[in-house]
Amino acid sequence: MFLHNIKIRSKLFMAFGLFIVLMVVSSALSLFSLDRANTGMQNIITNDYPTTVKANLLIDNFNDFIIAQQLMLLDEEGRWSQSSQKELDEISQRITALLDELSSNRHDAASQKIITEIREARQQYLESRFRILQDIQSHNRQAAIQEMMTRTVQVQKVYKDKVQELIAVQDAQMHNAGVQVEGDFKTNRTLLITLALISIAAGCVMGWYIVRSITRPLDDAVRFAEAIADGDLTRHITTDYKDETGVLLQALMAMKTRLLDIVQEVQNGSESISTAAAQIVAGNQDLAARTEEQASSVEETAASMEQITATVKNTADHTSEATKLSAGAASVVKNNGEMMNQVTQKMRVINDTANRMSDIINIIDSIAFQTNILALNAAVEAARAGEHGRGFAVVAGEVRQLAQKSASSASEIRNLIEDSTSQTQEGDAPGGESQRPD
């Protein structure tokens, strides 16, 4: 639907705009109805009703005029003739003023025609009255009465009938105005009720649609967000909305896609970490095996060092003994040839032992060198293993220090052996010379 492509703000503006338009139309109809009713009522108040009142005043004044004229006829002595004549003049002036007002206020053809006919009847009545007045002044009352009974009474009837006709016209106009006001009221009431029903129906439909167009995508967004919060990244959402809710759903879908990429990257990283951890474990196991080998080598080196120490001690004892024998042999060499031979043999044995000890020292140096290299490799592997190889690094350091101490001890032993060998050779030289024939 095309409203899906309209922003929520525009939808609300359209809804409120429709209500405002309906309210304006309803208000305009109400004002128009009130204006027509007011016009009708004003026409009744200012024209129809005053015309009726003035027409009734015409009848009242005409009746007063007739009464005054009759009293004037009855006054045979003429005592009230002057006052009656004055009263008749005043009544006639009032009637003339009323007719002028009616003629100026009424503009419809029917009223103007009746007013004209009233003026004509009044003129005829005034002519008859003038003849009656002349008869009275000439003391011919019988003629005056005859004029009144024949001509004046007829004119009076015509006059009253025309005034009543004018009143009837005004009553009809007031009735028509009332009917028109009532008809306008009913028509406008129907229109207002219809507009109200249309407004209510349109408001309900638009309200339902706008609420549905907002809450439905929001419900989808909430369910989609809850699924993502629960770890379900397999959900897929599509929308045809181009408003803010559609933008929200598209943003949530983009977020889900990005989260899926991040999870994939994390899984790949976890697999890499697992592989690296397996390699570290294998390296640790290899390092443990090498450390055990180094420990065995160190134990063998320690045992060899103990043997060398014992041998050196024996060599020192032999050397001391040989020195003593050499000293004794030097004093008795001439007399004791056999003893010199024994000393010579001892010297040779010592020399052979020293040579063997030199070979052993060389082996110890080689073992110490290899142990040092293995300790360095173990330290490198432990550094690569991080926290897991810290214990191996400590052991490798200890092994390296032990290898260095072994190499240092072997060097000292070599120096002692070289000194012993040189002393043995020095002791063997005089013995050899003593065995030469003179």
Question: How many angstroms from the chain centroid is the CA of residue 390?
Answer: 52
Q: Are 397 and 294 in contact (CB under 8 A)?
A: no
Q: Give the pLDDT of residue 355.
A: 72
Q: Where are the alpha helices (DSSP H) in 333-389?
A: 337-385
Q: What is the mean pLDDT of residues 251-277?
A: 77
**pTM, 2 dp:** 0.44
Q: Are 387 and 369 in contact (CB under 8 A)?
A: no
- Mean pLDDT taken over the chain: 73
SS3 6: coil
Decide if pLDDT at 187 tops 80.
Answer: yes
Q: Are 308 and 353 in contact (CB under 8 A)?
A: no
72-86 burial: b if 16+ Cβ within 10 Å, else e: bbeeeeeeebeebee
Q: How confident is the model at residue 437 (pLDDT cuts 50, 70, 90)?
A: very low
Decide if pLDDT at 157 tops 70.
Answer: yes
Q: How confident is the model at residue 319 (pLDDT cuts 50, 70, 90)?
A: low
SS3 107: coil
How many CB atoms neighbour CB 184 within 10 A?
18
Question: How many angstroms from the chain centroid is the CA of residue 151?
Answer: 99
Pull the structure tokens for residue 284. Answer: 């640790």
Pull the structure tokens for residue 85. Answer: 């004549």
Least confident of 129-133, 417-421, 431-435: 431-435
At CA 72, angle to CA 68 and CA 78, rounded to 5? 145
How many CB atoms neighbour CB 35 within 10 A?
11
Q: How confident is the model at residue 53 (pLDDT cuts 50, 70, 90)?
A: confident
At CA 107, angle to CA 106 and CA 112, rounded to 5? 75
Please count the CA atoms within 13 angstroms of the CA of 342 that sit on its side-chain side: 12
Block residue for tokens 């103007």: 112
CATH 1.10.10 for the 261-434 domain, yes or no: no
SS3 139: coil
Q: Are 129 and 95 in contact (CB under 8 A)?
A: no
Q: How confident is the model at residue 283 (pLDDT cuts 50, 70, 90)?
A: low
Q: What is the mean pLDDT of residues 99-124?
A: 81
Residue 7, sorted as left (phi over 0), alpha (psi -120 to 50) or beta, turns out to be beta
DSSP string of 214-263, one letter each residue: HHHHHHHHHHHHHHHHTT-----------SHHHHHHHHHHHHHHHHHHHH
Residue 345, sorted as left (phi over 0), alpha (psi -120 to 50) or beta, turns out to be alpha
pLDDT in tens, 200-218: 888 888 888 777 777 877 7
Domain range list for the chain: 2-214, 261-434
